[in-house]
Structure 1
Amino acid sequence: MPDLVKVRVYGLLGRFDHTVEIPEGQDFVILYGPNGIGKTKLLELIHSTFRGRFLEVDRVPFNSAKFDFSDGSVLSLDRTGQQSLFDEGESLDLTVTLDTEEGSHIEWRKGRVEGVQPVQRSSLIGRLLRELEDNVPVSRISTDEWFDPDSAEVLSRDEVIERYSHILPPGSHPYQLPTKMAEFISSLKVHLIETQRLLVNTPPATTRHVRHHGAQRKPTVEAFSEDFARRVGESLAQNSRTSQERDRTFPRRLLSSGSAPSEATEDAIRDRYMKQSALRARLAEISLLEQSSTDLPLPDRELKDWERLVLWTYLDDSDRKLANFQDLLGRVELFRSIVNSRFQFKRLDLNREGFQLFDEYGRSLSVASLSSGEQHELVLAYELLLNVEQGSLVLIDEPEISLHVAWQQEFMKDIANIASTASLRFLVATHSPQVIHKWWSRAVALEPGSAGAAE
């Protein structure tokens, strides 16, 4: 997957031209500038483009944009002024082109369905509505409102068509990209962290509730606590399946081996045994394993050949069983470390039930009792380490919200650690010089006439 290395946007908010370079191999770039310069709109434009949601792109006020990638490909967006098939009298506004490293040029205009004339508009819309009702996992709650239970969002008809275009028949709707362009865009992993992150939508019991009361909301810290419990449960279930398979075949594999392999030396066995014991202790701290009191130490004597065979086979099996936890372990440890380094007079523990919060006297606290700044710190760290796909470009808008100045100064250090642990790249928009702190060499000013202005 190619990396995004440069963004150029022209006429943002009707007046600003900006260029932002994101050097390949660099963990993060910081954007700063006065209110109204377009930092948030720029992040929204990048996110909507790389999610293939061009209805959202069309709502961002800009004239054109170009995205350059590490493999030489260029994705361009331009306003065109063509008439829309679905919105008579309004402008189509958007043409997307992709110039690939192989030299191919692909162009697509939003709203155009090949072979469909404007007079066919009503019949096409009727057919699409029937396709949506038959094939798409959403519920219609009004004339042009649909509820998506996966995201707990209320969507318009066109938003449903765009979001679920891969389910609808080819060539049946105005948001279907050419295959090669669709494949290129879908390979780009981008994740947006918005300013409002302390509440999340949750699926209601019925769509009637959505129609009359709106989507249900709950504190994000509670939703993430439940999510962690789910992840632990899934990891334990996978570990149990692996353990059952390895334990069932252990006698057969042991008997068929004959003798210990040459690499199963006394030192190698003792080294692996110590490393696995240390790993189990780390896993026990976050309830991914129970610390067993039945584990026996290795004997203080030279191991016999048959003992080396048994122990080596056992250690091989243990490596496979523990591998189910390895990826989750590093992320969770860093998450807990970041959060507990910020909290005062309280401590966050993690177990199979989710998050457990304690005060300095060991008394249990509700996670919902955290201050808004503490919740922002917890939510952001969890989102980045547990919910963002590896290799993504993460867009963060105003991370300084509700954070103490000292926390703001530590923010980019945390981002660097997270980038290394989770293989992420970051584009951070901020008003805070404390967030930038000592990283001015990574900062781009979005101001007319500055180094951040477009070429």
Structure 2
Amino acid sequence: MRIKQISVSGLFGIFNHVIPLNMSDRITIIHAPNGFGKTIILKMINGFFNSKHSIFWTIPFNNFRVDFNDDSSLEIEKKSENSNGVKKKDKITFTFQQSQSKPMRFTPIKVKDNIRPDLDFPMSMLDNIIPGLDRVAPQRWLYTPTDEILSLEEVIERFEDVLPSKFRLLRHEPDWLTEVRNSIHIRLIESQRLFNTSSQRHPRYFESSPPMSATVSEYSSEIAGIIKAKLTEYGTTSQSLDRTFPARLVEQKTAPNLVDEQLRLQLDELEKKRSRLIEVGLLDEDKSSDFQIQPQTIDESTKNILSVYIEDVKKKLSVFDEIASKIDLLREIINKKFEYSYKEINFSKEKGFIFTTKHDKKILSPTDLSSGEQHELVLLYELLFKVEPNSLVLIDEPEISLHLGWQVQFLKDLQEITKLANIDILMTTHSPDIIQDRWDLTVELKGVSS
């Protein structure tokens, strides 16, 4: 299932917006003046699909609707009931409608009503648990990385995954709502993306606080772990194939109907693939020399052995197919962009990202990169490695910290990524340089007609 249209009415009590998504090109760009609700719309989409409901209680709106490509729809309605001139509490209703089926409805309660009744702690402790959070009022905090003022409910909802278990919200939702949420994966990439709060929980929340770490360093460690995992899988696959090689060779009664040149061509292709994997840091050259076999003469017996061998090597190297394609594209895009500053990126299972200067081959830490370079690397890495296939990715203002040349190239890079990663993109921007000549991909949010 995919989202084909987003609409909202009464946003801030003023705006009515309809955003059809480009289903074929898979990239939709929202543009509008400041204050029209571009970022809020992304947060509302993320709020529903990732169970962060506080956005719907805090933002004024009447109706928010998501239409899917199977003709079903999800509608969120907000009403303020009045009695004898006195305004009552807001009421929010989720309604899911499938074709020819009875609508299914659910009324959520506010986050504060979902907080565990046994939660009893000094409010000041939240400052110690969450880096970047400063208390500015009895139940208000400033989150400095984004300059947002958050209520207690918003703090607990947003940082629930890094807080001790006793802070977890009590959720009571129908099964159909869970199924709707799980039908589409949504990932929001916000404009502030250079720092992350560690997700490691501490046994006693008052003893220490998780660090606010550089995202680029975390992702460097993460890609190293991904490479190591693939090498382990490669080793397991190799051992299994090597162990059964003699038996499979005996079982193969006749050699395949291949001429010598075809076998040599397949061996050449395997060697090229092996070299590519070495180049992107997925294989060590000294551990891969056994792939280099170039027989001078190929009789029927040799042909039989080579055919089994070639199929085995294909299976061994296929372990790396997906990650190699992603690393290759990331490496190509980053090296093209970093060329102006005479830097280049490579990868290893020990360090993850390896940055070197071109003139003297000096090794740089990921945090030595400029903020613009870190923004670009983090964004591209998230799109390639942090998003599941068929997800809708929400990107807020990708032009932040990107100089003009990178903005001009951004959409072309994004198109390559969407093809490889099989994802949809909905992004906001103020930059015509990002849009270039692709105004057909844009949706303009308009003000109130006079």
TM-score by length of 1: 0.82
Q: Partner of 2:316 in structure 1?
A: 321
Residue 374 to residue 274, structure 1, CA distance change in 2 (3 Å): same
- Matches of 1:144 and 1:64 in 2, distance apart? 36
> Residues 110-121 of structure 1: matches in 2 within 5 Å?
110-111=108-109
- Matches of 2:161 and 2:92 in 1, distance apart? 17
> Residues 372-391 of structure 1: matches in 2 within 5 Å?
372-391=371-390
Q: How far off its partner does 1:101 sit?
A: 3.1
Q: Are 2:266 and 1:272 aligned?
A: yes
Q: Are 2:398 and 1:403 aligned?
A: no
8 Å CA contact retained: 1:7, 1:19: yes
- Matches of 1:315 and 1:142 in 2, distance apart? 66
Aligned counterpart for 1:108 among listed residues 106, 109, 130: 106
Letter paired with 1:220: T
> Residues 36-115 of structure 1: matches in 2 within 5 Å?
36-81=35-80, 91-111=89-109
Letter paired with 1:322: L
8 Å CA contact retained: 2:267, 2:293: no
Residue 441 to residue 161, structure 1, CA distance change in 2 (3 Å): closer
Q: How far off its partner does 1:53 sit?
A: 2.9
- Matches of 2:157 and 2:291 in 1, distance apart? 57
Q: Partner of 1:289 in structure 2?
A: 283
Q: Are 2:221 and 1:226 aligned?
A: yes
8 Å CA contact retained: 1:53, 1:162: no
- Matches of 1:316 and 1:141 in 2, distance apart? 62
Q: Partner of 1:115 in structure 2?
A: none
Letter paired with 1:252: A
- Matches of 2:200 and 2:170 in 1, distance apart? 31
8 Å CA contact retained: 2:66, 2:75: yes
Q: Partner of 1:304 in structure 2?
A: 299
Deviation digits for residues 207-253 of structure 1 (CA, Å, limit 9, x no counterpart): 65x64875411111111110110000000011111111111111111
Q: Partner of 2:254 in structure 1?
A: 259
Q: How far off its partner does 1:13 sit?
A: 2.0
8 Å CA contact retained: 1:24, 1:70: no
Residue 435 to residue 211, structure 1, CA distance change in 2 (3 Å): farther
8 Å CA contact retained: 1:347, 1:358: yes
What SS does the aligned partner of 1:261 have?
A: coil
Residue 181 to residue 268, structure 1, CA distance change in 2 (3 Å): farther
Q: How far off its partner does 1:61 sit?
A: 2.8
- Matches of 2:158 and 2:312 in 1, distance apart? 47
Q: Partner of 2:146 in structure 1?
A: none
What SS does the aligned partner of 2:91 have?
A: coil
Q: Partner of 2:327 in structure 1?
A: 332
8 Å CA contact retained: 1:193, 1:394: yes
Deviation digits for residues 259-279 of structure 1 (CA, Å, limit 9, x no counterpart): 2234x4434322322221111
Letter paired with 1:266: D
Q: Partner of 2:29 in structure 1?
A: 30
Deviation digits for residues 146-182 of structure 1 (CA, Å, limit 9, x no counterpart): 99x9xx9999597499989xx9xxxxx9743321232
Q: How far off its partner does 1:314 sit?
A: 1.1
Letter paired with 1:318: V
Aligned counterpart for 1:357 among listed residues 355, 378, 390: 355
- Matches of 2:40 and 2:125 in 1, distance apart? 25
Aligned counterpart for 1:180 among listed residues 155, 173, 176: 176
Q: Partner of 1:236 in structure 2?
A: 231
Seq. identity, %: 31
Q: Which region of structure 1 is more displaced relative to structure 2, 274-283 or 55-64?
A: 55-64
- Matches of 1:211 and 1:330 in 2, distance apart? 44
Residue 104 to residue 250, structure 1, CA distance change in 2 (3 Å): farther
- Matches of 1:323 and 1:441 in 2, distance apart? 38
What SS does the aligned partner of 1:399 have?
A: coil
Q: Are 2:195 and 1:199 aligned?
A: yes
8 Å CA contact retained: 2:201, 2:210: no
Residue 77 to residue 272, structure 1, CA distance change in 2 (3 Å): same
Letter paired with 1:236: L
Which aligned runs of 4 or more in structure 1 are off by greater than 6 angstroms? 143-147, 152-155, 160-164
Q: Which region of structure 1 is more displaced relative to structure 2, 60-69 or 213-222?
A: 213-222
What SS does the aligned partner of 2:319 have?
A: helix
TM-score by length of 2: 0.83
Extract unaligned runs of 5+ from structure 1. Answer: 84-88, 113-120, 134-139, 168-172
- Matches of 2:445 and 2:333 in 1, distance apart? 30
8 Å CA contact retained: 1:161, 1:175: no
Q: How many residues align?
A: 415
Deviation digits for residues 357-408 of structure 1 (CA, Å, limit 9, x no counterpart): 1112212122211111111111111111111111111110011111101111
Extract unaligned runs of 5+ from structure 2. Answer: 134-142, 144-151
- Matches of 2:25 and 2:98 in 1, distance apart? 23
Aligned counterpart for 2:241 among listed residues 246, 251, 257: 246
Deviation digits for residues 266-293 of structure 1 (CA, Å, limit 9, x no counterpart): 3432232222111111110122112234
Once superposed, what is the RMSD of the aligned Cα atoms? 3.4
Q: How far off its partner does 1:129 sit?
A: 5.3
What SS does the aligned partner of 1:34 have?
A: coil
- Matches of 1:195 and 1:8 in 2, distance apart? 22
- Matches of 1:7 and 1:54 in 2, distance apart? 17
Q: Are 2:339 and 1:345 aligned?
A: no
- Matches of 2:419 and 2:270 in 1, distance apart? 24
- Matches of 1:271 and 1:99 in 2, distance apart? 56
Letter paired with 2:354: Q
